[in-house]
Structure 1
């Protein structure tokens, strides 16, 4: 089933225990992020106020005992997008997200799904379908056992290889 943006966002208040996210692209072009990345590219300051709603949601969730984990599989040297993403990750960490950076060279023998995803409570996976330019096309849900197993196994294989955000240093 395909979800719109509001339906997708609502899932972050509906899960019970764990939300895990695997990102495998080196760049994205989401409408929300592009203006902020453009500021960063020119050295303009960004107060990151646009992240506040997300960080509040994560903070409330973690205070209620929920877990938010994100693994970024990245090419090195990092793309400009990933360098920018790294630069804005601290508010996510402060809110309670666990974030790891996983160099792509470490994951050659790991089976991945074809798309980035969020997996909620090991019961619902939401695949992110992107256009070639990084714009989101749609969010597609699955509760198929094979999809759930693949996504869980991929994340579980990547997570221990990841470098915690505060330890991942940019060159």
Structure 2
């Protein structure tokens, strides 16, 4: 059993801000992605069909006054996975996340950490590890102020350049 808190615990403990940087073009497959690839859309009017515990965790944090931001760095043309993520981001937005997209070619001069991560209240980082084919390989929790600061600064650089979700067109 891992001693690293689960996401739900970290976001429940969050008081001011949570930021998430995603940098992969492909993550592991899942039934919702596969359904979308087979032409099945989300019935946005049937919230129970798409609302997950994750969305509730975000909504609860936002209700407490936590600002939750997600930035995605993507290659263009985008992969099918990213095209699906863009489509289903509506759920993140409805939960209260702010989401932006940065084409990878616009990030060439940025020094970025090598892994996706979350930063909670500028004090903890949950680093995500994936295998080359996008499967989950584990997580670690970082609290060293220097390393937290590096990741927070990297996120802010990306956020400043990134395009708000409702303005970004997948290419």
**Residue 45 and residue 6 in structure 1: after superposition, are their counterparts in 2 closer, same or farther (change >3 A)?**
farther
| Counterpart-to-counterpart distance in 1, 2:63 and 2:161 | 27
CA RMSD, 1 decimal = 1.9
* TM-score scaled by length of structure 2: 0.90
| Counterpart-to-counterpart distance in 2, 1:63 and 1:150 | 28
* TM-score scaled by length of structure 1: 0.90
| Counterpart-to-counterpart distance in 1, 2:122 and 2:2 | 18
**Could you give the per-residue CA deviations for residues 89-119 of structure 1, whole angstroms, max 9, x where no partner exists?**
1121122100000011111111111100000
Match of 1:34 in 2: 30
| Counterpart-to-counterpart distance in 1, 2:25 and 2:163 | 17
Match of 2:101 in 1: 101
Match of 1:61 in 2: 61
**Could you give the per-residue CA deviations for residues 13-68 of structure 1, whole angstroms, max 9, x where no partner exists?**
11111110000001100xxx611101111102344734432222222211111111
Count, aligned residues: 167
| Counterpart-to-counterpart distance in 1, 2:82 and 2:4 | 23
Please tell me whether the aligned partners of residues 21 and 70 of structure 1 are also in contact (alpha carbons under 8 angstroms).
yes
Match of 1:19 in 2: 18
Unaligned runs of 5+ in 1: none
Q: Would you say 1:120 and 2:116 are equivalent positions? A: no
| Counterpart-to-counterpart distance in 1, 2:132 and 2:3 | 19
Q: CA deviation at 1:146?
A: 2.4
Alignment of structure 1 residues 1-171 onto 2, 5 Å:
3=2, 7-29=6-28, 34-47=30-43, 49-171=49-171
Unaligned runs of 5+ in 2: none
Please tell me whether the aligned partners of residues 25 and 74 of structure 1 are also in contact (alpha carbons under 8 angstroms).
yes
Q: CA deviation at 1:7?
A: 2.3
| Counterpart-to-counterpart distance in 2, 1:43 and 1:119 | 35
| Counterpart-to-counterpart distance in 2, 1:104 and 1:146 | 25
